[in-house]
Structure 1
Amino acid sequence: MGTNLDVVAALLSADPISVDTAIAAVESQRAGAVVSFSGVVRNHDGGKRVQRLSYSAHPLAQEVLNRIVTELAGAKGAADPDGHPVRIWVAHRVGPLEIGEPALVCAVASSHRAEAFEICSELVERVKAEVPIWKEQFYTDGSVEWVGAGMLP
């Protein structure tokens, strides 16, 4: 990765993740903006009530996550307009999760807000679209559905 990108974390985690942890990890005295995202398990999907879910990751999921961060760094020049490194923390849960638990957490710190918002947004979209993680949703009516099962690296 470029010298102007400081990837604090790029994780797949069976343990709980938190936006507070992500923010604390990327904050610095040179950061004028810290943008975060926390995607949490909701109690509904497609008009059905969700009871809980479980995420499963392909063995190459960590490699894909690392590649996304590396490519994003290269595409964005990996430095804010003042030449300071952009700091990134990203984690996606695997395993069982309950309603309200964070499933995807990202934080990006930069000297300026525009870069922090742009990088955080693109990071979230690319993780959701490219990292081979599948969601098994358990509904309150007893049915189960897999989401993202067609995605392979």
Structure 2
Amino acid sequence: MPTNYKHIDLAYLESITDGSKEIIEELINIFIEQIPEFTEDFDNGLAEKDWKKIAAAAHKAKSSVLSMGISELGNIDLKNLELVAKQMRLDKLTETGESTSEMDQLKKTLESYPEEKREWIASNKNEEVIKNLIVKFNKVVDEAVKELNQVLEN
């Protein structure tokens, strides 16, 4: 399969399927079918300011995106979206003043990152950053789907 695409790199799929074109095509189709679910979760989460939903959708989308070799979007942008949304969820829970197991888990997760990353999260925890990361997700995924459709046509 050609590897001269801007966004996708199917090397991982080729390695786990022993190059089976049929299985790769099936996995590509599953990925393409998942995109509206991710987009809807992001849109609804943003509209409802449901940071937990956005964090969960980013986490789920990350593995799908990475399986298509869309590395920067998965390893950087979706990871950042997940972490910023988790921090905003933690802040929202903290405002209520009650301690919950969800709060404890969020704190533990966020504290597990290096200081530099925690500082980045703290300085970027706002709705505009979340919107921008979602816009980037939509743009890159749209372009990647075009590339994946080219793979399916060949």
TM-score, length of structure 2 as denominator length: 0.30
Task: Name the one with the larger helix percent.
Answer: 2
Q: Higher relative contact order at CA 8 Å, sep ≥6: structure 1 or structure 2?
A: 1
